[in-house]
Every structure is written in C-alpha cells, then in structure tokens.
Structure 1
Amino acid sequence: MGEKLAMTATALLPPMGLIVVVLGSILGGLATPTEAAGCGAIGSIILCACYKNLTMEVLKEALYKTVVITAMILMILMCGTMFAGVFSATGGMAGVQALLAAWELTSWQTLAMLLFIAFIAGFMLDLISLMLIVVPIAMPIIVLQQFTDMTTGEILSRGDIKIWFSICFLIMIQTSYLTPPMAPAIFYLRGISPPEITLMHMYKGVVPFILLHGVVLAFVLYIPKMALWLPTILFRGF
C-alpha cells in the first residue's frame, strides 16, 4: 500500500505542482500568460529529466509538435481575423442586426438562437475557429439586448452580459462536443481507447455528462451571478 501511494505521489504531485505554479503566477499577477507558458515549458523539461525520460528524440518530437500546433493555431487566428474583418466591412453585421430586428425577437429568444447556432457549429468546428467566427458576430448583437437576473431582478450591465454570454457559449460548445452523433470529443477519445470499448459504449457513457451540462447551463441562465462571481473576485483589485 505504501509503495502504491509513493508511486502515485511521484506521478501526480510534480505535474500538479507545475500546473499550480503556472496558473497561480497568472492569477496572482506575478507573470503574464506568455511568461507563465515559458516557465511551464522549462518546468516540463526539468520534470522530464527528473523522470529520466529526456532524450534528444523526445526533445525533437516535442519541438516538432510545438511548431506544428503553433502554426496551425496562428493560421486559424489569421483566417478568423480576416473573416471577421471582411464580414464587418462588407456590411454583414448590419445585415444580421437588421434581420434580427425584422424577426422582432425578444432578448431571451435572441440568446437562445445564438446558443443554438453555437451548438450546431460545434459539430463541425473546433473551439478556436468557433470563437473567431461566431463570437465577433454574436457578441455585438447580444450586448444590445437587455437581461435581468431572475432571482434579484437586477438589470445586467454590458460588461456583465459579455462575461455571462461567454460562459453560456462555452458550456454550449462543450455540450456540443459530447453530443452524438457527431460528438468530436468522443471520436478523439475513440482513437486512444482499447478496441473493446466501442462507440456505443461511449455514446451511452456521455449521457449523464450531457444532462449535467444542461443543468449547469439552466442555472447559469437563470442566475447570471453564478457566472459573474469568480471574475468579480479575481478582478476586484483592478
């Protein structure tokens, strides 16, 4: 028993400590995200050396994957930024706003429509692409709406609406990634799972998590302060 605990502690505590240091330095204002990422990379190399897994082949593979992933992310960012700029410059935003005005949707109906669009788009697009394509269109629309906290009757400010909508948006995307038949997250997991675990097993296994996501989304929609509490605490001193 003691040996198992020692092995578990050796395997879990150093990586957890690295995560705490990286995130803690950002939240504590000690480092910018870029600086914290650099510290995390150095810490990962040190941990790899401590575990006696650091070789030139491992280092080359890590560097190669870093370059590939970074290039992919930057390409997505560039294309998403270009799309948002062209869409806005050609009057796309004004067209969407005029369409919504013609439909005469209420604030909550507008929110439901945007979240539904995010849910469907999550079947086909990754998170970064979704944020760069959908958010620049949805955010200017949603901040023009008026929402109230169902429990207090307090009208949300534009800043609160941005944070609240962002949280709801992310919950909806995560739900989309788990929802069959597309379920991108399940297909990612299927690629590393043992052969005896079938897609049907995974489809059945994600049902409780989908239901939990729905419950969380309902609470956040009904009580916006649930989404605003942590950001309020974090930025109280700014």
Structure 2
Amino acid sequence: MGDAVLLMLPALIVLIIVGFPIAFSMMLVALGFGLYRFGDILVLQFAQRVNEVASNYVLGAIPLFIFMGAVLERAGIAERLFDALYMWTRRLPGGLAIAALLMCTIFAAASGVVGATETLVGMLAIPGMLKRGYNNSLIAGTICSGGSLGTVIPPSIPVVVLAPIVTLPVGDLLAGILVPGLMMAGMFMIYIVVACTLKPDLAPADPEPDTRSLGEKLAFTAFALVPPAFLIATVLGTLFAGLATPTEAAACGSFGVVLLAIFYRRFSWRLIFEASIRTVSLTAMILAIVLAGSMFSGVFFASGGMMAVKGMLNAFGLDTWSVIAVILVITFVLGFAVDLISIVLIMMTIAVPVVRTYGVDPLWFSIVFLVTLQTSYLTPPMAPSIFYLRAIAPPEMKLKQMYWGVIPFICCQLVVLALLLTFPALATWMPKLIYG
C-alpha cells in the first residue's frame, strides 16, 4: 500500500467536514483502507479490536466518572457550593467571577466531563453576573475558560482515554496534568483580579452587605464545601496514592456522590434514573468513538503508516522540536471541528510512536498535547466552549462579546504552554514525587 496509507487522515477529515459522525467516519475509513489492504481477514482484526475495547479495565472508569458529574449536577449540590464560595470572594475585585472559576475547578475535579462543568456553572453564575452589571465579555471569558478546565483538571475523561494509547499509567498522567491545570486556574483568577482592579466597571462591587457572622459563614461553608471536597480528595487521593485503580476510585466516587445526595436530602429514584440515562448516553458516544479510533489506528499501523510518517518527516529534514510543533499545530486546528476524545484518538495514536523515535518523554508530550487541546477548545472562531455558552447565554450576550472575552484567557493558557515547553519538569515532577 506504500505511502497511500497517509491518505487515511485526509479522507477522515473530508468525511468529518461533510457531516458524517466522528465514530462512523473513522470506521468507514478504516473499513475502506483495510479491505483494500488486507481483504476479508480485516473482520478478524476488527473483532479483536472490539474485544480489546470491551475488556479494557481502565475504560470502565468513564461511565462512573460521568455518573458522578450527572448526580452532582442534578442533586442541587452546586447551588449551595457556589453560594459558599461567593460568600468568601464577594469583596475581591470580580468576586463573582472568581467564585465561578473556583466552582469550575471543583466541578472539573468531581466529574471529569468538560461540557457539563461549563453548562452547570454558567447557568448558576451568569444571571448573578448580569444582575450586578458585570461586563458581558468578562462573563463569557470566565465561563468558557472555567469550563475548559475539565480537560486538564483530574479526573479528566480525555486523560483516561489517552492512557492506554501512550501506554502510561493513568495515575502518572493525572498527576502530571494536575500542576498545569491548577496553574491555569490560578492565572485565570489573577487576570480577573488585575483587570477588575484596573477597570472597576468590568465588575461592579456587590452593594448588598453580608450580615452573617464569622461563625455562621464557617458553618455554612463547612456544610456546603467539606462533603464535596472530601469526595474529591477521596477519589484523587486513593488514585494518586496507588490504593485504587482509576475504575475503583471512580466507583468509590459514584457511591460517595449518592451518599452526598442523601446527606443534602436531594436523593430520589428519579434523580438516579435521569443521571443513569445521561451516563449511558455519553458513555455510548465516547466508547463508540474509542472503538472507531482503535479500528482506525489498527489499520493505519498494520498498513505501514508509522514507517510512512517517519519517512515523510525525514524527507523534510525536521528536527525534534519541529516535529513537536507540527503535531501541536495540527492538534490545535483539529480542535476547531473535532471533539476532544476523537482528537486524542486520531492524533496520539500516530504522534506518540513518532515522538518516541525522537527520544521525547511521552509523559511530558502527553501533558503538552492536552494543554494545546484545551487551548484549541477555547479559541475562536470555532471554539466548542463558546458553542456551549451560546446554548445557555441570554440574548443580550452577543457572539462578538464572547469572542473578545476569551482572548485574555487564551493568553493565560499560552503562558502555561510556554512554561511547559521551557520547563518540562512542571509536567513530570508530580508523578515522580508520588510514584518515584
């Protein structure tokens, strides 16, 4: 088949642009090229791929993490938590936006589902920001950037999918992405405080005084914040400490979130049913894409795709950094049109073996890849985060304001990306500290 295997990626992109679903596009390209190259024996190869995905223990964490997020979303836990956070940030410049970002960070750590975090926090925070006269662009940038943290704050569904591809422990990847994720959240908050200090009209101060005593504030915060924080600490703590696999940690989290619903007196069988339906729907979509990606990569590598890519790079005389730059640019562009899980499967199945041949640390490269993916998720004109926001934003928030609003936050992400490229230890020191 020779270099013809390199046509698989352009063919896939054409099908996606035409409007075919991602999973079916990858399956169709794999089927066409596979039959041409291998004939009927392809059926056996595909059956093997189905068995590998179905028996992958790590992927069992996906529905459990989704269930955690779905229950948290529907149990009303978020409203109380948001009120507690804003109670402490209200006197800061842009205090409501700071509370929204803190909420996004906590929910990203509780669910791992990107779109759910942005939608939930946006529905809670946007009405209050508009009521207090916050600038529409600041509102848009805050909600979009906060929602994007679900890509890089553990436990992240894209990380769980990525781990088997790069043949690294999920714990290493989650620990590696934690520091960059928290750096981003911190930089977002610093930007808001600085911008609102320099331009107070961006976020007028809350005129309503808070009459609660310190004891009342501490009691309310403990009731609203401690149980969810304990749940997150349990899930991530057992995972990082090696006491539980990702699937076991997610199972503990799913059980814990049901206990939280009971604790807050929001438990009902209807809540469990609705959360289960959402879990099944999202899990089916994600695993269909994972299976399609496995089929696509299987045909690509068996047809000599790896050698063809390496030969093409050698023909252009690219060095290590040039190869990394090419991969990251392609990833960034794909982020405009393709969902996160699909990009992970399409790009990393090809990129990781390539960068390994150049002696690049796959853990560091995976973290840089995820940060690039998150930046693409936020970047106009095709930013998925803006599409999520448009679905919940009121009519007075215009698309132009959303585009302008995310630009400062994109700059913050680019700073983090530059730091990762300059100081690789930012991505690797936490896994070494935890796992040695």
| TM superposition score normalised by structure 2 | 0.49
CA deviations 1:148-168 (Å, max 9, x no partner) are xxxxxxxxxx5xx11111111
Q: RMSD over aligned Cα, in angstroms?
A: 1.6
Deviation at 1:99, TM superposition (A): 1.0
CA deviations 1:80-115 (Å, max 9, x no partner) are 111110111122222111111111111111111010
Aligned length in residues: 223
In structure 2, do the counterparts of structure 1 residues 121 and 91 end up closer, same or farther at CA, with 3 Å as the change threshold?
same
Partner of 1:111: 324
Moved more, 176-185 or 49-58: 49-58
CA deviations 1:184-236 (Å, max 9, x no partner) are 11211232234333322222221121111111111211222222211211220
- The 2-side partners of 1:39 and 1:179 are apart by 35
The yes-or-no answer on 1:70 pairing with 2:283 is yes
TM superposition outliers: structure 1 runs of 4+ over 6 Å: none
- The 2-side partners of 1:32 and 1:165 are apart by 23
- Asked whether the 8 Å contact 2:328–2:369 carries over to 1, the reply is yes
- The 2-side partners of 1:5 and 1:202 are apart by 36
Deviation at 1:5, TM superposition (A): 4.9
- The 1-side partners of 2:285 and 2:374 are apart by 21
Q: Which runs of 5+ in 2 are unaligned?
A: 1-211
The one-letter amino acid paired with 1:64 is I
- The 2-side partners of 1:104 and 1:145 are apart by 13
- The 2-side partners of 1:164 and 1:186 are apart by 28
- The 2-side partners of 1:25 and 1:193 are apart by 38
- The 2-side partners of 1:29 and 1:198 are apart by 47
Deviation at 1:4, TM superposition (A): 5.1
The percentage of aligned residue pairs carrying the same residue is 50
Partner of 2:385: 185
**RCO higher in structure (CA 8 A, sep ≥6):** 2
The one-letter amino acid paired with 1:209 is F
Partner of 1:54: 267
The one-letter amino acid paired with 1:184 is P
Partner of 1:204: 404
Partner of 1:35: 248
Deviation at 1:13, TM superposition (A): 2.2
Q: Tell me, what secondary structure is at the counterpart of 1:35?
A: helix
Deviation at 1:120, TM superposition (A): 0.6
The yes-or-no answer on 1:138 pairing with 2:338 is no
The yes-or-no answer on 1:229 pairing with 2:429 is yes
Compare the two structures and name the one with the higher helix fraction.
2
